[in-house]
A = this chain, B = another copy of it.
């Protein structure tokens, strides 16, 4: 098995990936909070870890990939107080919170399908794991790292600091954090402003509520990932991923919860994808400067010069390394569309190349460079640059300027299929969706040509066209006002 290195946020360096239970890999990634249309930021996180999922499988690992749906507990401003994001949206749209969750889960799935993001092995919902979350709170309480106050349960940072260290992932220090935190309204029931909610008491008007040993309420946002990660991947597992905006406090709190409950950390490799920016500022729902995927695919947004195909968006994301920021601009997306087209073109040209027995082309170094890039902390831009070099060679081969034999062509096809197709998840051609209009125009032209043939009594030609089309499932009907066609 080829060696894979990944950057571990925990150690702040690249490490060789060694799974706990070869050949199995357990991987958890924070999924969406389903209260709005998915945007470019969602796409970046999903695509980054989709490529990791695909790469691991391609290297021969058996991966259990868990990506959750947050449908409860994520409060506005990512805070411990305020309205639940989904409930607030439900009020706005006059729907039951679970209708909102359903609607935006559907939207998310639709967009992921467009982007060719594979479904995870398990997609647990936070609201479906209240029992597991309550059990985890009970363990943290039993270990002494949490306290109950007026129907709420809070994680006790000061107590935790006596035995462990809060801040291992983010490198932040509790004393610094405390110096920078002011007491907020509504946080009176906390001993310390840094403490975070494990369980929140539901106010009378709060719809999403469950019974618990502390009264009716709902779980804190950080809790679900700890509970569901351990449920489906065990108390120790390989990889936890998510966007860099989740590093602190979300993932820091996850670590504290697991250490408090189990005495040891759960996750071995923490991975974070960087943000999508717009004019240098993070793109996000809370900032209001985001562009939804739907808008990108249709071009319906004032900042967009045109529509961008899902594969263009995927390619745009993969052209940057996942740990770099990615700045949105029309120019960058248009360049991505051109770049992708060139690779797809080369990929298709391979099917039609005439082999030359006088091979002058050595494919192996390219193969190695591709895989080395992918296995070097998912360096997708380098892998793509190698494929661009190959595209140039393939184009030269079509002009006879480079000689490739059948074996070389086959290996190149396999490399494009595997790296560009299977691992990077790009499709070989434009999607079917655009076929319809093209077919209309092609058929219109073809029927004109057939009408001309008939006009000059060349019935052999007109019949040949009709029969060939019929065999391909297109039925031509001759009528008073000319011929019409339909798919049969």
A interface list, Cβ under 8 A from B: 64, 95-96, 98-99, 102, 106, 109, 119-125, 127-131, 135, 210-211, 232, 341, 345, 348, 352, 398, 429-430, 432-446, 449, 465, 468-469, 471-474, 479, 484, 486-488
Contact = CB atoms under 8 A, between A and B. Distances in A.
A396 to B, nearest CB: 14
A479 B398 contact: yes
B122 A125 contact: no
Given A119-B106, A439-B442, A445-B469, A211 B135 contact: yes
A135 B352 CA distance: 66
Contacts of A442: 439, 442-443, 446, 469, 472, 474
Chain A at the B interface: mostly helix, strand, loop or mixed? Answer: helix
8 contacts: A96-B122, A131-B211, A341-B488, A432-B433, A437-B472, A438-B469, A439-B439, A445-B468
A473 B211 contact: no
Contacts of A437: 472-473
Nearest to A102: B122
B131 A102 contact: no
Contact of A98 (B122, B135, B439): B122
Contact of A96 (B64, B429, B446): B64
A438 B474 contact: yes
Contacts of A232: 96, 98
Contact of A435 (B119, B122, B127, B432): B432
B487 A435 contact: yes
A172 B366 CA distance: 73
A468 B211 CA distance: 66
A135 B64 CA distance: 33
A441 B468 contact: yes
Contacts of A123: 102
B441 A210 contact: no
Contacts of A445: 446, 465, 468-469
